[in-house]
Amino acid sequence: MLPFNVVIALGLSCGRASRVQLRAPPARASAEPPTSVSVSDLGLSMADLAAALPTDLSITMADTPEATAGYESTLRSSTDQGAAWSESADVVEVTLTILAMRGQPAAAMAIEATATSLTVTAWGRAIWTCVLRGTIDPNTASMIAEDGMGSLPILQFSARKAPAVWWGGFIKSIGEDSLIN
């Protein structure tokens, strides 16, 4: 590439030489994201950032939102958003629509729960399991199964948390023994 502001003689035209001067193109905004951001208006120093948090700092359930919700995948291999979860301070709920269960009647479906896991069964056979992000009281668990659109069963599950802490989701991991992965 030629340096800017170079004078180049171009060919002859009618016996006269033409001259063109190249100039630097106008500056354009970079497509690259910035590598640094100024936070000087916050009034913090590096020492402030390195300081330990106060030991009396405590965040209670009363300091957090009343409920959170989201979607998670019921498959390890892809994201299907088959688990629509919500949680409040003391209850967690999930609606499962696992595509591989299409055609199974809702009356044949069940959910079995332990304090840290959930197992979905069809006709009494375990077909999907997950480890929960937190601990529940399985004695408070309830389950409803309904026939959904396109022969897809919809499973709704809820239980009280034990202890009452925010999970930020429902599924910690999908079970290795699941027939549906």
User: Could you report the per-residue pLDDT of 114-126, keeping only the tens digit for each?
Assistant: 999 999 999 999 9
User: Could you report the per-residue pLDDT of 124-170, keeping only the tens digit for each?
Assistant: 999 999 999 999 999 999 999 999 999 999 999 999 999 888 899 99
CATH, residue 123: 2.60.40.790
DSSP string, 1-19: -PPSS-EEEEEEETTEEEE
Asked if the structure places residue 33 within a domain, the reply is no
The domain total for the chain is 1
User: Could you report the per-residue pLDDT of 10-21, keeping only the tens digit for each?
Assistant: 333 444 444 444
DSSP 84: E
Asked if the structure places residue 99 within a domain, the reply is yes
Spatial separation of the C-alpha atoms in residues 136 and 96, rounded to whole Å: 17
> What's the mean pLDDT when you consider all of the chain?
78
Whether this model's pTM surpasses 0.75: no
Asked if the structure places residue 139 within a domain, the reply is yes
Asked if the structure places residue 47 within a domain, the reply is no
Q: How many CB atoms lie within 10 A of CB 131?
A: 14
Q: Among 39-48, 73-82, 91-100, where is mean pLDDT lowest?
A: 39-48
The type of residue at 76 is R
Spatial separation of the C-alpha atoms in residues 131 and 123, rounded to whole Å: 22
Give me the pLDDT at residue 3, please.
Answer: 40
Domain hosting residue 155, numbered range: 68-174
In this predicted structure, the answer to whether residue 70 has a pLDDT above a threshold of 90 is yes
